[in-house]
Chain A
Amino acid sequence: MISDFLNPSYLAGFLTLVVIYAVFAIGLNVHWGYTGIFNFGVAGFFAVGAYTSAILTKQPASGDYMTYIGGLQLPYFVGLIGAGLACAVLAFIIGIPTLRLREDYLAIASIGVAETLRRVFINEMWLVNGTRGMIGIPQPLHGLVDTADYKYVYLAIAATVLLVVYVAVERGIRSPWGRVLRAIREDEMTAAASGKNIFAFKMQAFMLGAFIMGIGGAMYASYVRAITPDTFVPMFGTFLIWVMLIVGGSGNNKGAILGALAVWLIWNRTGALVSEAQDPRIFYVRNLLIGVLVVAVLLLRPKGIWGEEKRVSVYAGKEPERGKRKEEEDAEPPTTTVSSAEEAGEGGGAT
């Protein structure tokens, strides 16, 4: 079990994926953990990010078996930023109609967007080569070292990107802008009453999270070098990241990273365990395990490993758009206790 990890090359590959998923988890944390946007279409942003960077960095399409737009051969970091921007634009377009919806409708709408995008990518051959996929996605700084050692270079690059994203988001959350976001998540009505333009804040957070997810997609594309629409099925592209956030603890970025590590570890080790088996069906044990994991965490330890207790009024959460009942006007709503992680200064707090 552990022996695989003693191989540095294997370990580097493992950690690279953890880092990439951590970036996604942080992006999702900006959406759900900080702003309360239930984005169930992460796979859509994943795909758009990955394909955008592929289009930007690859050579133009050639030959009979490749048709796709772009092929601008731009450098890796342009690909990253471009991917982020493309996702931010997508978020803007989707956000205008959907961000005003209540949580569960937004979730359903986001699933729809992701699924529709996936079908477009599959069917429109001219766009990203359909199911044949895009292969040969270039990698940054490839010529620097021997191919055998490249893994470490990429890990270093990925880790750097993660660090930048982490620091940027942490800064953002502690800023006045971030405090407004948290106020919105905790009690939208009160935040609105204080005069803030809720919609604008939500949109900004939505776009920021999407931007981060785009970067994650670009990192993923360069790492695996070949992507097809099947890479972005809901299980991998959306569900896994949600599980990471829930297991690690939503509401803070350390939890996001921790969750990425924990869940990917489980995924990876289960895969290794069953890879000996003859029957390919056995791989679905992984999916089963992840499903059981998330249900178990929700039931037994909803705040995850490192989560903060959501400081929400005791009777919020059930029917968000109904007006408060009379006794809530009579009584001062109490707040639930705050976990020690919160008190250690993990997150800012709404006033």
Chain B
Amino acid sequence: MAQLIVIGLIMSSIIALGAIGLTLIYGILKFANFAHGDLMTVGAYIAFLTFAGGGHIGPLSFGYGMILAMLAAMLVVGLMSVVIDRLVYRPLRRRNAGLVILAMASLGMAIIVRSLVYLGWGPDQRFYTSGLQYAHQFPLGIALKPDQMFIGATALVSVALVYLLLYRTKLGKAMRATADNMELARVAGIDTEQVVIATWAIGGSLAGLAGVLLGIQSHLMPEMGFIFILPLFAASILGGVGSPHGALVGALVVGISQEASTEWISPAYKPAVAFILLFAILLVRPRGIFGVKV
């Protein structure tokens, strides 16, 4: 069980990166981005495309090429998110499209993105590197591969940076203000269009990073991100839509629960576990742990 919890923590860090982006977008634009999982997929595959060079950074399974690939993935997905918003979601917002129209549009984008991945790389599994990696043994029967420790550390650093942004910079405060009340932000003189762009850029690049980390942890498949949609939404809603702390806490709960559940039920049911958590919170406290009552 201790091992499952630790793996859960690793998965939680990946979920957290996706959920923070999702919740920021949800909080500011009030729209459920169903394409967020597929943004992760794109990130993973862009890294696959740009990953070059062999070698190893210490005990990790990849060389410095991966760091560059990760940055490329973040850049591309961040940019892509901004462009998609400009071309698709913003025109719909301007027309006062309902939540459902926007959600359908994001589902459409998800299909488009996923199809492009299928067309580009086919349905087979891909891996960044080949070969086995040996796990370090820890007490309590815990075994961790260096790659997994890397994932945890990267996620931690990224989340810390996001917090720095949100709580110590003017842009971050403007983002939180816009999430609270977009019209008031405009009234105060904040350029909310720029805030929206920044939110997509940040949310998108976090998703791209999450995708790469997921690819490192397991493997690449065109469906990899879509499978994550339930845990991502569960984490965001559990923690309270719009709240980054919420996304973190939600990710921890969902990630660990999913892994721990495999002690008793088939791993195929992991997304179902996420769903049950989601369902439970919607019944008991729909605004989530840190959510504000609307």
Q: In the complex, is A directly touching B at CB under 8 Å?
A: yes
Chain A residues with a Cβ under 8 A of chain B: 32, 38, 40, 97-98, 101-105, 107-109, 111-113, 115-116, 119-120, 122-123, 234-235, 239, 242, 246, 280-282, 284-285, 287-288, 290-292, 294-295, 298-299, 302, 314-322
CB–CB B100/A239 < 8 A: no
Q: How many A-B residue pairs have CB under 8 A?
A: 137
> Which of A104, A105, A287 is the one whose CB lies under 8 Å from B118?
A287
If A123-B269, A295-B112 touch, does A319 touch B105 (CB 8 Å cutoff)? no
CB–CB B30/A318 < 8 A: yes
If A119-B271, A246-B104 touch, does A320 touch B118 (CB 8 Å cutoff)? no
27 contacts between A and B (CB under 8 A): A32-B100, A104-B100, A108-B233, A109-B278, A111-B229, A112-B271, A112-B274, A112-B275, A112-B278, A116-B269, A116-B275, A119-B271, A281-B118, A281-B123, A284-B115, A285-B115, A287-B114, A288-B115, A288-B116, A291-B109, A291-B112, A292-B112, A295-B108, A295-B112, A298-B97, A298-B104, A318-B99
Chain A nearest Cβ from B45, distance in angstroms: 14
CB–CB A107/B229 < 8 A: no
Which B residues touch A298, using CB under 8 A?
A: 92, 97, 101, 104-105, 108
Which B residues touch A119, using CB under 8 A?
A: 268-269, 271-272
C-alpha spacing A288/B38, complex, angstroms: 14
Which A residues touch B272, using CB under 8 A?
A: 112, 115-116, 119-120
CB–CB A295/B103 < 8 A: no
B187 interface residue (CB < 8 Å to A): no
Chain A: CB-nearest residue to B112: A291
B59 interface residue (CB < 8 Å to A): no
C-alpha spacing A241/B229, complex, angstroms: 20
Within 8 A of A (CB), among B242-294: 266, 268-269, 271-272, 274-276, 278-279, 282-283, 286, 294
Chain A nearest Cβ from B105, distance in angstroms: 5
Other than the given A108-B230, A319-B294, 4 more pairs (CB < 8 A) read A112-B275, A281-B122, A285-B119, A295-B112
B88 interface residue (CB < 8 Å to A): yes
B96 interface residue (CB < 8 Å to A): yes
Chain A nearest Cβ from B9, distance in angstroms: 23
CB–CB A291/B100 < 8 A: no
What is the interface of chain B mostly: helix, strand, loop, or mixed?
helix
Which of B122, B271, B279, B294 gathers most chain A CB within 10 Å?
B279
C-alpha spacing A38/B97, complex, angstroms: 15
> Which of A101, A234, A287, A317 is the one whose CB lies under 8 Å from B97?
A317
CB–CB A123/B268 < 8 A: yes
If A284-B115, A318-B30 touch, does A104 touch B99 (CB 8 Å cutoff)? yes
CB–CB B104/A294 < 8 A: yes
Which B residues touch A115, using CB under 8 A?
A: 230, 271-272, 275
Which of B30, B95, B233, B276 gathers most chain A CB within 10 Å?
B233
B141 interface residue (CB < 8 Å to A): no
Chain A: CB-nearest residue to B106: A295
CB–CB A294/B100 < 8 A: no
Which A residues touch B92, using CB under 8 A?
A: 298-299
C-alpha spacing A112/B269, complex, angstroms: 11
Chain B nearest Cβ from A220, distance in angstroms: 21
Chain A nearest Cβ from B264, distance in angstroms: 13
CB–CB A105/B266 < 8 A: no
C-alpha spacing A319/B102, complex, angstroms: 13
C-alpha spacing A258/B88, complex, angstroms: 25
B166 interface residue (CB < 8 Å to A): no
C-alpha spacing A318/B101, complex, angstroms: 10
Chain A nearest Cβ from B69, distance in angstroms: 23
B237 interface residue (CB < 8 Å to A): yes
B111 interface residue (CB < 8 Å to A): yes
If A108-B32, A317-B98 touch, does A97 touch B115 (CB 8 Å cutoff)? no
C-alpha spacing A70/B115, complex, angstroms: 38
